[in-house]
Amino acid sequence: MAWCGARRNGPLIRARYQGDVMQTSHVAVIAAAAFVILSWFNVDTGVGSIQSDLRERAQREVASVLEDADEIRIEADGRDLILTGTVSSGTVRAEAESRVNGLRGVRTVTNLIEVAETVEPPSWSYSLTTVPYRLVVSLTSTDAVLDGLVHDEPTRTALLAIAAGRAANGNVRDTLEVEPQTHPQWSEATQEIVRAVAALQDVELRFADHEISIKGRAGSPDERDRALATIRSAVPYGVILQTDLTVPLSAAAAQCKQRFAELQTHRPVVFLPTSTALLPSSGELLDALAVALRECPDTRIEVAAYSESTRDYGAALRISQARAETIAEQLTTRGVNGSRLSAVGYGVTETDGRMSDPQMALIVRGH
């Protein structure tokens, strides 16, 4: 009887067994599929592999289409990408985000890329398509000399009037020529600059192509500073300005000036190229200058700084101004009274051989 019962139940047992096998197979298939999906995102199921894979693919994608790719840095946090760096325009910034956002496996993109500040030349900036502007103005206590090119007759008349008012008995030697092909916006700039230097003592003003040089004497530091403020505001964009305006110095101030020059001759200040970062070796000169400045408490000092030559005049001016402020701050931290210091950036380095240090100079402006 027991044997017969086993045979009757045999098919039922086999059916249940087969069902268990099928269910087990389904589970195995699902597990295998899950493993394949996980492997697709991460071959070794490690977070580091996901990050490195996405980062490398994103960097290649950006490099293949964008010229600014070297300025873009890409980091990955799992499947989330973070973009940093600096690019030339908002269009490049948006394109970089769009490119990496479409990559397989990327979940989110955080765009922290900055757009570099650019200085757009104003409408009156210097243009090489016009005839180069050449002008020499020499003003002394007795006479005035004007020679070169001006854009139109009204400009010539205005310059002659300024010179006549400055020279004794209106003695003006005029060899100006009208050249309509010179840039018209030079006319206004020229008149503003000549008016400013006319308030000084003996002075020579030269416009040569894309450079302006001014040399002369001022009666006081305030007189000089007022003239320079007007001149700098009138100089056309892209034009290099070089000035050498002196003021009468006391014997003590003259000695201080000589000492500063000697210190700078032997131990220059050195910045990294196109940067405001000082090399450690500059500390030796700054220490010595601070001592000398504290021993000359009655002098007013201009910290003049310069930048290396660059096609972007606006950038050179900003770098040189930041360098001057850096030097002034360094001297202040070494015990120099900051109220005695003024920081002025002049853009590109002067090339007339007067400077022993191509990046910085301390100039005694008064007492």
Is residue 280 within 8 A of residue 287, CB to CB? The reply is no
Enumerate residues 6+ apart whose C-beta is below 8 A from 183: 124, 126, 127, 130, 133, 151, 236
- What is the predicted pLDDT for the residue at 157? 92
pLDDT in tens, 35-74: 555 444 444 444 457 778 888 888 888 887 677 666 788 8
> Which burial class, exposed, middle or buried, applies to 329 when counting CB atoms under 10 A from its CB (0-12, 13-18, 19+)?
middle
Is residue 185 scored above 70 in pLDDT? yes
Place of tokens 């008995």: 169
Sign of CA pseudo-dihedral 305, 306, 307, 308: negative
Give CA torsion, residues 41, 43, 44, 49, to 10 deg.
-70
Is residue 239 within 8 A of residue 212, CB to CB? The reply is yes
How sure is the predictor about 218, in pLDDT bands with cuts at 50, 70 and 90? confident
Cα distance between the two ends of the chain: 130
How sure is the predictor about 332, in pLDDT bands with cuts at 50, 70 and 90? very high
DSSP single-letter state for residue 132? P
Q: Which domains does the chain have, with CATH numbers?
A: 47-115 (3.30.1340.30), 119-246 (3.40.1520.20), 249-367 (3.30.1330.60)
Query: pTM for the complete prediction?
Result: 0.43
Over the range 152-163, which residues count as b (16 or more CB within 10 Å of their CB) and which as e?
Answer: eeebbebbbebb
Query: 299: how many CB neighbours lie within 10 A of its CB?
Result: 23
